[in-house]
Amino acid sequence: MWKQYITEAFLKTAIRTPSQFSLPPSTTRKILDQLCRIFPVNKEVQIRPIRLAGIKAEEIKPQSSSTQLIFHIHGGAFFLGSLNTHRAFMTDIAARTQMQVIHVDYPLAPESEFPDALEALYDIYQLLLDQGIQAKDMILSGDSCGANLALALCLRLKENQDEQPSGLILMSPFLDLTLSSDSLRFNRKHDALLSIEALEAGIDYYLGNRIATDNPQVSPLFDDLSGLPPTLVQVGSKEILLDDAKRFLEQAKQAGVEVEFKLYTGMWHNFQMFSAWFDEAKQALADLATFAHQRDKD
């Protein structure tokens, strides 16, 4: 309990509170990159820098051969996050699942606006298929706004009648850019990491006045969710985005999607990144690995 109390106090001071002020994106990115250096990189895997469709990326492989690939899209409210912020987390996923992981530096706002990020991710997905990776051997994953982009990518694939990945993983998903989920208010003081102000800034950078926030292309919660692959949703009970995840569960089930929903008591936004210190985060990685292995078996 003391470890959790101290961690939450640190996160509120170092990340959540500064995010409530209008700092330039470049400044916030530098701060976040430095703070994420505290996460230990797993030494059991190999990291190789690559480029995919002109985008910087990293290929992370366990020492043993793997039959599945996890294509992960990092979070950061559409204007933050990088290979640096998520590298340690990706090495933990690769080591825990014993699967190859690819994560990418997709275009961020405000330098790149909607739909640049989604277009780049679609191109990368198609390139992976062109390189001989079969859709049935690929799992699409994302955290926070990365979960938004992962879900939007699956819906784009469905619209274009392209092959879907074997599974979809949504961690702490940010799916409703109208900010209408009740948990944004009742968990506002409880979420140690994420603030409503950071979400509002990200939405403004990402969309501006170019597209309505309730457009299904940017708020996939409002889209037709039928035809999605089996999906794992992970969310913490203290997250301001808790109800985005719960609403997805309800709507996806109504659409006939196979959904596994995992709620982790006492956890904040993107708690999975803290697996080096908290049992709940370790359990989330174990649950993710179980889901991924089931897709491999299928």
User: What tokens appear for 289 in the block?
Assistant: 């690995």
On the CB side of 111, CA atoms within 13 Å amount to 8
Selecting among 58, 172, 239, 275, the annotated active-site residue is 239
**Whether residue 111 lies in the annotated active site:** no
CA distance 177 to 159: 21
**Whether residue 144 lies in the annotated active site:** yes
Strands (E), the chain: 45-52, 55-62, 69-73, 100-104, 138-143, 167-171, 231-236, 259-264
Selecting among 19, 144, 172, 183, the annotated active-site residue is 144
The alpha carbon torsion through 285, 291, 295, 298 (nearest 10 deg) reads 140
Token look-up 């990088």 returns 82
CA distance 262 to 42: 25
Question: Which residue in 108, 141, 68 sits closest to 297, CA to CA?
Answer: 68
Residues with catalytic function? 144, 239
